[in-house]
Amino acid sequence: MNSVVTITDVYHKLLPEPLFLYEDYVFIVNDTLGEYGIVSEMKINCTDNVKLQNSTDKPRSVYFMYIKMIEELHAPEVDFAKTVNEVQEDTHFIYFTDWKMWYNITINEDPIDISTFALTNESRKEFVDIYKEKLIHHHILNGINIHLKLQQVPLNEYGVPVAILEVHDGSKWIPEVMKYSSVDIVKTIYRIKFTESCNCQFNVELVQPGTTSNNGLMAIKVMAVNDAPVLTDKAILRYNELVETYLLYPYIHQDTDFRVSDIVPHFYSDEDEHDFVGAAVIGQISDKIGKWMFSYNSSWTSFPYIDKSDLPGRSNINVHLLSPNNIIRFVPNNSSYLWTRHEAIAYTRIYLLGWDMSNSNNERNLTDTVDIHICHGIQNKICGPGGKSAFGRDVIALYINRVGCDGVASSLMSADSCGICGGHDDCIDCTGTPNGGASYDMCRDCTGGSSSIPYGHHLDCNHECGNNYYEQRLQMCVRCGHCVLGNTSLPSNHGEDVCGVCNGDGTSCLDCDGVVNGNKTEDFCGQCLHPSDSSYNKGCMKLGSVTPNFIRNFDNHTLYVVGVKLEMFSTVECSLRKHNDIYLSVLSFDTTTSTIELQTPDLLGTRGVYNVSCVFDSNTTLVLENDLTIYQYPQITAITPDSMVIGDMIKVNITTNGLVDTGFIQCILFCPFRSPEIGCYTASGLSKVHIPVVLLNSNTVQCDLSQLGYFSRAKAYKLSVAVEHKDILEITRLHTVDFIIRAEAPVIQAAIFDRSFCYFSVIFNRDITGPNECSDIFHSDTYSLLGTNPFCITVGKRVLVDLGRDNTLRPGHAITLKTSAIYRIGAMQQFAEFATGSTNISIPVNAMQPKFSLSGPLVVGSCDAFNVVLKQTNSGCLKFRSHWSIQANPASVNISWVNSTSLTSLMNRIDALKNSPRMLAIHHDEILPGETVEFIVTVEDDLNDLSYVARHNVSRETIMNPLTVSIILLGDKSHVDPANIIRFYATAKVAECYNLTEGIVKLSWQSGTSDFSLSVFNDKPIAAVRPNTLRGGSMYTVTINAFFEDDPSAAAVDLVTFHTISKPLVVTIDGGDFIVFAPHQEVVLDASISQDPDRQNLPMFFTWTCKYASLIENNLHYYSNFI
């Protein structure tokens, strides 16, 4: 660059005092041509180019010279300061606001020729520097005419660019469309806006308007980052974290395993193209029904138990990491117990997070720590890290349902003793044995099958039921009260009359001629003749009989009248006579057999005993007197008693509006079942049971319902009285009443706590059912003992009661039922007898034995506050009262403190504690430095009146340590595998009484070995060693130093020492396990490639052994002999 230098003005001025030799004032001006330049005003104290000395004896002449330099226009060179810029995936904007970050701006110029000036070298150099500085500043202030453009931007699936360039117009961002001829990149604010997340690359181009040359490209690389697993659409959240589960425990007990890869993908997905998502299990909620376990190293381990309310706000919560191939299972405490969905949600929940395994290099079971917090904007929902971590944000709770025998989850359907789902033990025989095969014989004895009693055991010698009895062993009968046959010498009919009737008078089998079992009968004419006698029914003229002689009073009926000597007549007319005549239609008149076939009209409403009158040939009348009875179906007006309990043997009296003794009077019980096991069964297979009666009077019969004692199904049965033979009986016309067979009332056997005292069972003598509200089951006196919101359910022979909070139920208390609550299962409630009474609740023989301990620090800082916590295990739901006390160390170095009022005050404060606290907080000034205090808690069992004592000693340091730090090795310290990630966690604590002005605590990690370095984790509470970094079989020590940033002298240190496991040497012979060589050929066996997996870098020593061996190949023997 050439500069024109002109002296525009020189003048002098008298000054009252001396000045510096020279000064420069440089500023930017604009001449009339619009060019920018540099004007320098130099104050030069000189004469004839000779510097004058300062003097105060006379004034000096000072010349002021103005120099103006006009510059040429320059084209600055602009290129990107960074050729590649990497940003993380999910970046939304890249801003180009600071030019120093993005661009290099350089200006090429020729040096200014100022040799004609009478200036010192120093002034010359300063002038040139100032010129350059102002020139550059001039360009920056006035801008650089270049702008930006995007190249090779990928498109999404809809053809839209994933990134666009935007420029700010002073009020808003607008897309850059290159509509301006020139854009000043220095004064204009650019940004790149991502329209969607991508893992991609594109270029940013510098463009100079008016030219075709590009000044440079910068590549934008979007780097993929890990994304935490997220919930899938299938994960329908209930109660904030509960998901509708498909996990089912089968009805038939068996170990049911769930592979993680079959569970987690239903609820979590991962965008990072991981093949599967694992699980980070926080823990399970309860072991009341069972426990969740996972398989590790061929053994099953239970997940830890957690209290969800303790999780929010906690950091470093241990989680069990399960890879997709891991297996979990639920193991119920009682394999036969069927739990409800309510119980599944309340007691089988297991909390977990999705885990994408991005923080692990293998699929072994590991543990890690996560932070749990209350989700933003969602009350009571807990969340995990999410974001870019390996763990999902949403904590979910799975639970497992128990399948009923019907295959439906939580249906509580169980199989009866017969193996029938939802059955009623109908296959139980009369001995109570399922499918036993025993049944009641004709004597209603339980015989056959499982009874081991032969069928007909009580049949007598005449195959009749009664007092007569056949004795199998003696081969004799008990007949008519006498032992007969066998060795008695008595005949089988001893005690019988001639008719075979025990103790009879011998007349029951005589015919009309007095002959035993004779064949003569009295004919219509009153003669005792054999029916085959030619004189039989020949000695008179009369009507002999009408058939049937009993007819019902509805419909019309056909009658057959048989007479004697009617063959002499040719015509006949007949009627029924009582108070009025009922004329009959003659259907036929057979004179050869003296038989008249008649038909009645509809007899509706007619009843009573009638004469049959017939007029022959219009002049001869014959009458059959009182031989035809017209009856009605009786209407039942009363039944006493009207019900019975299953198993009763009773007789009932049934009163009607009138009965006719037709010889077929019977009671009929209508039964909807046809099963001998239920008892409602007839040999004919009809759905009615015919029961003999005793006619007490013309209106009342007595039915013997003894056989109903074998009925096993409670129900209202229809009972009727019939007067016809069952073959002609019209069932639909019978009048019926309800006779109720009630289910027998269950009887309380016992009431007993479970071993955890969380619930109790009321046990009955049979399977039961009833309401599920405790207040509907128990008397108010008992219900008041059950606490707040108890839960009740009937299962099998038990009422299970989940005790509520603050219950006051104690051993020996009476458990009393309401009078209309519990009844036999399978019975309809209106036909059931209800259980009543009470029993005293008792303690189980296997009751839990609680254990108590105090936990807290053994040593605390000289002024630190601390807590002592009472822990209890194996205590279930037992309630306890605790009393705290302390005592000072008798050997205390400070006797005055032991006897001081401050210690007495502390003792009194502790002694006055109420509500049985589980934790005791000790303030920093309540125990003197150097003292040791023993804390004592006496715990009384509120249920069993037992007491327990726990003790713990705490010592306070004498010297104040303002800072303490502790370090732990995460995982199993006794089994540190160098092939895995090894993690350490440090906790720093500032003493409460330390006057800390700045709360910044610095952490410094030290490994103490050259094998690895932990410096990258400085100021972080967690550090890790990569897999395969440490050597096996070695001891390492990791040290953590904690100190204050402003006071490094206040420091603390802790260390952890561990051994890595050692693995066997890997011995390898070069060439493989089998080498073929020719005879007399030298063979070199080289094992130098053997390796030590422990990476100890120690010399290896080899011991070679040889043996003679043969190899058979293609039926040929090859021998080797190594020496």
pLDDT for residue 1108: 62
Residues 250 and 386 in one domain: yes
Residues 766 and 794 in one domain: yes
Q: What angle do CA 1091, 1096, 1102 make, to 5 degrees?
A: 45
Q: Is residue 409 part of a domain?
A: no
Residues 667 and 712 in one domain: yes
Round to whole Å and give the CA distance between 864 and 961: 9
User: Token pair 């692990």 is at which residue?
Assistant: 360
| % pLDDT > 90, the chain | 13
DSSP state of 99: H
Q: Is residue 534 part of a domain?
A: yes
pLDDT for residue 75: 60
Q: Could you tell me the pLDDT band of residue 380, with boundaries at 50, 70 and 90?
A: low
**What average pLDDT does this structure show over 344-352?**
84
Domains identified in the chain, total number: 9
pLDDT for residue 387: 81
The answer to whether residues 714 and 824 touch, using CB atoms and an 8 Å cutoff, is yes
Round to whole Å and give the CA distance between 199 and 88: 9
Pairing of strands 24-30, 36-44: antiparallel
pLDDT for residue 383: 85
**What average pLDDT does this structure show over 949-956?**
89
> Domain boundary at 593, 616, 631, which?
631
Whether residue 415 is predicted with pLDDT greater than 80 in this model: the reply is yes
DSSP state of 1017: G
pLDDT for residue 588: 93
Residues 208 and 304 in one domain: no
707 or 1110: whose pLDDT is higher?
707
Kind plus residue range of the DSSP H or E element containing 689: strand 688-695
pLDDT for residue 559: 93
**What average pLDDT does this structure show over 435-445?**
77
- For the stretch 136-162, pLDDT in tens is 555 555 567 778 888 888 888 778 888
The answer to whether residues 600 and 582 touch, using CB atoms and an 8 Å cutoff, is yes
Q: Could you tell me the pLDDT band of residue 190, with boundaries at 50, 70 and 90?
A: confident
pLDDT for residue 816: 95
Residues 734 and 765 in one domain: no
592 or 106: whose pLDDT is higher?
592
pLDDT for residue 168: 85
Q: What is the domain-level CATH number for residue 546?
A: 2.60.40.10
Residues 218 and 150 in one domain: yes
Whether residue 1050 is predicted with pLDDT greater than 60 in this model: the reply is yes
Alpha carbon of 381 to those of 307, 308, 311, 343, 351: distances in Å? 14, 10, 10, 21, 12
Whether residue 782 is predicted with pLDDT greater than 80 in this model: the reply is yes
SS3 718: strand
Round to whole Å and give the CA distance between 957 and 949: 27
Q: Is residue 1096 part of a domain?
A: no
The tokens describing 354, both together, are: 């999705």
Lowest mean pLDDT among 344-358, 518-532, 674-688, 910-924: 674-688
pLDDT for residue 66: 38
**What average pLDDT does this structure show over 1053-1078?**
83
Residue 757 belongs to what domain range? 748-842
Q: Could you tell me the pLDDT band of residue 589, with boundaries at 50, 70 and 90?
A: very high
Round to whole Å and give the CA distance between 723 and 553: 12
Pairing of strands 327-332, 257-259: antiparallel
> Domain boundary at 223, 253, 288, which?
223
The answer to whether residues 147 and 209 touch, using CB atoms and an 8 Å cutoff, is yes
Sign of CA dihedral 517, 518, 519, 525: negative
Residues 270 and 361 in one domain: yes
Three-state SS string over 469-530 comes to EEECCCCEEEECCEEECCCCCCCCCCCECCCCCECCCCCCCECCCCCECCCCEECCCCCEEC
pLDDT for residue 973: 80
Q: How far is CA 544 from the centre of its chain?
A: 88
Q: How far is CA 158 from the centre of its chain?
A: 42
User: Token pair 């010592």 is at which residue?
Assistant: 955
Alpha carbon dihedral 711, 715, 720, 724, in 10-degree steps, equals -50
The tokens describing 667, both together, are: 């009671």
- For the stretch 692-725, pLDDT in tens is 888 888 899 999 887 776 677 778 888 899 988 8
Residues 39 and 137 in one domain: yes
Q: Could you tell me the pLDDT band of residue 673, with boundaries at 50, 70 and 90?
A: low
Q: Could you tell me the pLDDT band of residue 1098, with boundaries at 50, 70 and 90?
A: low
Round to whole Å and give the CA distance between 960 and 976: 35
Residues 625 and 657 in one domain: no
Q: Could you tell me the pLDDT band of residue 120, with boundaries at 50, 70 and 90?
A: very low
Q: What is the domain-level CATH number for residue 754?
A: 2.60.40
Task: Please report, in angstroms and rounded to a whole number, the separation of the first and last CA atoms in the chain.
Answer: 91
Alpha carbon of 921 to those of 852, 901, 910, 1023: distances in Å? 18, 19, 10, 32
pLDDT for residue 487: 61
Whether residue 257 is predicted with pLDDT greater than 70 in this model: the reply is yes
Length of the chain: 1123
SS3 105: strand
SS3 122: helix
Give the chain's radius of gyration (CA, Å). Answer: 57
Residues 862 and 939 in one domain: yes
pLDDT for residue 5: 32
1015 backbone φψ class: left, alpha, beta (φ>0; ψ -120 to 50): alpha
514 backbone φψ class: left, alpha, beta (φ>0; ψ -120 to 50): left
Q: Is residue 802 part of a domain?
A: yes
Q: Is residue 392 part of a domain?
A: yes
Q: Which is nearest to 416 in space by CA: 796, 739, 726, 702?
A: 796
The answer to whether residues 192 and 161 touch, using CB atoms and an 8 Å cutoff, is no
Q: Is residue 71 part of a domain?
A: yes
Whether residue 3 is predicted with pLDDT greater than 70 in this model: the reply is no
The tokens describing 714, both together, are: 């409670």
Q: Is residue 714 part of a domain?
A: yes
DSSP state of 1061: P
pLDDT for residue 256: 84
Whether residue 466 is predicted with pLDDT greater than 50 in this model: the reply is yes
Please state, rounded to an integer, the average pLDDT across all residues of the chain. Answer: 77
* Phi (first) and psi of residue 921, to 5 degrees: -100, 125
Lowest mean pLDDT among 79-88, 300-309, 419-428, 899-908: 419-428
Q: Could you tell me the pLDDT band of residue 332, with boundaries at 50, 70 and 90?
A: very high
The tokens describing 753, both together, are: 């706590």
* Phi (first) and psi of residue 950, to 5 degrees: -130, 145
Residues 796 and 918 in one domain: no
Residues 776 and 680 in one domain: no
β-pair partners for 339: none
> Domain boundary at 190, 223, 256, which?
223
Lowest mean pLDDT among 153-167, 169-183, 381-395, 453-467: 453-467
pLDDT for residue 318: 87
Highest mean pLDDT (candidates 368-372, 463-467, 710-714, 773-777):
773-777
Round to whole Å and give the CA distance between 399 and 404: 16
Pairing of strands 715-722, 666-670: antiparallel
Alpha carbon of 729 to those of 9, 569, 630, 655, 723: distances in Å? 152, 37, 15, 20, 8
Round to whole Å and give the CA distance between 981 and 601: 108
pLDDT for residue 1123: 36
Residue type for position 354: G
Q: Is residue 270 part of a domain?
A: yes
Whether residue 8 is predicted with pLDDT greater than 60 in this model: the reply is no
Lowest mean pLDDT among 30-44, 476-490, 689-703: 30-44
* Phi (first) and psi of residue 1043, to 5 degrees: -155, 160
Lowest mean pLDDT among 475-479, 882-886, 1108-1112: 1108-1112
- For the stretch 553-572, pLDDT in tens is 888 899 999 999 888 899 99
